[in-house]
Structure 1
Amino acid sequence: MKFTQEIEIERPIDEVISLFDNPDNMDKWMDGLKSFEPISGTPGQPGAKSKLKFKMGNREIEMIETITTRNLPGEFSGTYEAKGVFNIVRNRFVKLSENRTKYIAENEFQFKGFMKLMGFLMPSAFKKQSMKYLVAFKEFAEKGK
């Protein structure tokens, strides 16, 4: 399943990149993120691996992030692997004006086992969760919330 989502942020591109590129900010806009633990490599750099733990409702989800491309603002990409789900995310940022930035997120979800059924029956849930993070990042960047 592939989809692209975008949102406009009322902040200069340099500010947006600075906020996005700081792992200490992740819990401020990624609802449910409980921990971010570097495993290998230099965090944020191609080849770096990190373990992310999320609490979503009653479920705990652990995933491994691998950074594949770092060329900000043009592209920051990575893979996210959890039980039954492999997600490729390509983030891009485009300067619209001095105080306005477009954040574009391209997602490709690949499913295995039971999650294949979930992806087939509930694709909107994955799109909704991805958009939730974009909206939360926008609010964090604009209002510090």
Structure 2
Amino acid sequence: MKYTVSIEIALPRERVVQLLADPAHMSKWLRGLVLHEPLSGVHGQVGTKSRVVMEMGKQKIECTETITRREPTDLRGIPEGHVVHFDRKIVGEGMWSAVRDRLTEAGPETTLWASENEYRFSGLLMRLVGLLMPGAFRKQSLQHMEDFKAFAEQGKDVREAKD
């Protein structure tokens, strides 16, 4: 299953990149995040493997995230018009996913965040989930982006949100 979601954020690209790259902010916008800890490497750097635990409803999901691309590697002073790439592979029980995030300048004070997502499933249960609920994955990806936008633009913290 493949899909792309995108959102415009009313902040300059360099500021958006700084906020996305800072692990101290992840729990403020990544709904359901319980743990994100590097197992090897440095957070956000190519080749870094991290243990990620997410809580969805009453279920906890554990997976391993590997950073596969980060361009440019130095996020300070990104040249105008340059596309910022953050790619990662996520592997969990019965699931493999690749996420390719692109951040471009939509204007002097606006950033376009486009996220290409690909999922592959193994095992009967996960294959059924992928077949019966493809919209749920797209909806969750967009929810994470909307939560980040609210955090970046307005300082909203998902941990304080009332659902």
Give yes or no for TM over 0.5.
yes
User: Is residue 88 of structure 2 the alignment partner of residue 78 of structure 1?
Assistant: yes
Question: How far did residue 74 of structure 1 move?
Answer: 2.2
Match of 1:109 in 2: 119
Match of 2:11 in 1: 11
- Root mean square deviation of aligned Cα: 0.9
Match of 1:66 in 2: 66
**Matched positions, count:** 145
What SS does the aligned partner of 2:128 have? helix
User: Is residue 122 of structure 2 the alignment partner of residue 125 of structure 1?
Assistant: no
Question: How far did residue 35 of structure 1 move?
Answer: 1.0
In 2, distance between residues paired with 1:107 and 1:122? 15
The AA in structure 1 aligned to 2:140 is Q
In 2, distance between residues paired with 1:37 and 1:74? 23
Specify which structure has the higher proportion of strand: 1
What SS does the aligned partner of 1:70 have? strand
Identity score, percent: 43
Pick which of 18-27 and 65-74 moved more. 65-74
- Output aligned runs, 1:51-62, within 5 Å: 51-62=51-62
Unpaired segments ≥5 residues, structure 1: none
Question: 1:18-49, CA deviations, whole angstroms, 9 ceiling, x for partnerless residues?
Answer: 00011111111111101111100122111100
User: Is residue 80 of structure 2 the alignment partner of residue 87 of structure 1?
Assistant: no
The AA in structure 2 aligned to 1:138 is K
4+ runs of 1 displaced by more than 3 Å? none
Q: If you compute each CA radius of gyration, which structure gives the higher value, 1 or 2?
A: 2
Q: TM-score, normalised by structure 1?
A: 0.97
The AA in structure 2 aligned to 1:59 is Q
What SS does the aligned partner of 1:104 have? strand
In 2, distance between residues paired with 1:101 and 1:27? 21
Q: TM-score, normalised by structure 2?
A: 0.86
Match of 2:21 in 1: 21
In 2, distance between residues paired with 1:74 and 1:31? 23
Question: 1:38-81, CA deviations, whole angstroms, 9 ceiling, x for partnerless residues?
Answer: 10012211110000111111101111000000004521100111
